[in-house]
Amino acid sequence: MLPTFPHAGKLYSYEPAAPLDISLPLAPGPGQVNCFWAEPVQFDTIRVGSFVGSVALGGSTNYQRIHVTPHGNGTHTECYGHISPDPAVTLNQCLRRFLFVARLVSVTPQKQENGDLVVMLADVQAALAAQAPGEALPEAFVLRTLPNEAAKRQRQYSGTNPTYIEPALAQFLVDNNVQHFLLDLPSVDREEDAGQLLAHHAFWRYPQQPRCGATITELIFVPNEVKDGLYLLNIQVTSLEIDASPSKPVLYALTLVD
């Protein structure tokens, strides 16, 4: 028998052996996705005395140090510590559960008068009405922007004013009790916005009523063969006491149990 997961008074089954990985891997070199002028990921071989941490170079084991900037290299998950001066607000303290029901929605950003591409609340609402009319949103919301090009996997976003979301969309998610927002963009906010970070502040209700358990996961990639709909989401992170961590969100297709 397949395992089941409850949602909105219904029971769904899922196949643990059929994960849908929507993360972008961390690899060294300049050919990986990058944003906010972060240095490329770097793997350094550790050398101590006569020991070399590389089997290829004659060592007994591979032993490497990793240089990574979570917000700028690959898929990452962040908490409201990202915009708080309090160093005690870390993802490891805020994210205490890892399985959620999620809805995946695909939307085409709209070009604004200033030339910016923005994901608009009205378009998300229309997509939701067409996909699941009358249904409440689950705990997690996954946004795929269209066109969904494979180039997103290696795109160099720095200095390009990438697509971002309308702050009203962040508020809509809060109003509908969405705790975890995942999207295939470098940020929910404009690359350069004079530090306003309107969508970040709206989603975390910061500083008025900070939502400690809420997270934003950026720079995902949802392959085209993964259809819009309802999924079980597993957010995998490292236990770092910092505001963000490289992450591996994984989806599992859900099937309603009769």
**DSSP codes, 184-242:** SSS-SS-S-STT--HHHHHHHTTTTS--TT-EEEES----TTS-SEEEEEEEEE---SS
Check: CB of residue 202 under 8 Å from CB of residue 169: no
Nearest to 176 by CA among 146, 145, 142, 141: 141
Our CA dihedral for 70, 74, 79, 81, rounded to 10 degrees, sits at: 30
pLDDT band at 100 (very low <50, low <70, confident <90, very high): very high
Residue found under tokens 């259809």:
227
Instruction: Supply angle C-alpha 177, 190, 20, rounded to 5.
Output: 55
pLDDT band at 1 (very low <50, low <70, confident <90, very high): confident
pLDDT at residue number 258: 79
pLDDT in tens, 193-227: 999 999 999 999 999 999 999 999 999 999 999 99
Check: CB of residue 35 under 8 Å from CB of residue 22: no
Range 9-13 average pLDDT: 96
The yes-or-no verdict on residue 117 having pLDDT over 90 is yes
pTM of the model: 0.97
pLDDT at residue number 30: 83
Token pair for residue 95? 């994210």
pLDDT in tens, 230-256: 999 999 999 999 999 999 999 999 999
pLDDT at residue number 195: 96
Q: What average pLDDT does the chain have?
A: 97
Residue ranges of domains in the chain, CATH in brackets: 4-32+70-256 (3.50.30.50)
Q: What percent of the chain has pLDDT over 90?
A: 98
